[in-house]
Structure 1
């Protein structure tokens, strides 16, 4: 395969470590995806450690078993792709890896197994089923990934982890749709929803009034 000729030539000498600097940057999307799995198969079959430098987050998540995120020349978090995405340790990592909604708020309850946060900018109270190390009244940020947010015209039963707003933008991307919902205070929230059905008779439209909600285990509280 011509696209992988560089790594192929380097592997002839059976190195213990192979450094790949933007190895797939010149390829189109489909060929890049195919070549990613080719590299994974090569690594698994030969047992050679790959160190990949890339600015493509999807590429990093696909190829890596461990990722290091750097900010201003310093590594701020190292971990498996799943851990970086689901359990970021600070706002920089949460915003850098994938897309995220961050709500600033104040801690109103802090117990060993849960925390409750009031967010003036969202006009709502958030309940998170994990404790954090903080003081009552401390400023924190609740991070919620767009795909973990439910969007509906119907109001949920629970008032926790629920905000309402108006659909401000809609983007159909084939396998999923992206919604940007404008809250009364002017904050915009990003939501992604998989397109499970071919028909769109009930699809949400621009300026529809909607409710956004998520589970207590779908968000992470960040203190920095």
Structure 2
């Protein structure tokens, strides 16, 4: 994580922590940097206008002064439980940290009574756990960046027969399914759309090869399943249109 991203994440971590705050040591462990680095980052946030508050003493630490920031959103117990279930179902290596951060923000924003009700309700739900092979975390992150930025990616891929090939691909989507996660991409080697199991990609790095994907190719079936786009969940006006 570069410094700019860490500064944003640090501010969000403190906002999610609420009045309890975080110590510099806790923050250093969370972001895997030194305490001195965290203290420099906190100083930079303060100079940038983030309303930090400090508490001295054994239980002291840093927090965002809520009197000088926007009030938190209020979630009902059922809403919080639904989000917790949804995020727990999607505990993928790419999104695990962001899922935890999102839940921390929700928990910090809730009144204690509603939070207790949500926890009691969530304790009545159990999710079936189907063990699936996880891709390497660093490889998965490189794949995601290439998908996000529309960059050609050079991968080392081992097929089901154990044969490894080195190829350039143009990533299209990360597909998260019940049997594992996949990358759909235009393959320069095969000159067609292909599906790659992410746990079989042992190396992934940016390629200088220019894009050459045809303007239109067919959709691929992935692992025998149809796919859906979670992007729709970020457009509630499309899911629940206003009556005319």
- The two structures have a TM-score, normalised by structure 2, of 0.21
**Which gives a bigger RCO, structure 1 or 2 (Cα 8 Å, sep 6+)?**
1
Structure showing the higher helix proportion among its residues: 2
- The two structures have a TM-score, normalised by structure 1, of 0.22
Structure showing the higher strand proportion among its residues: 1
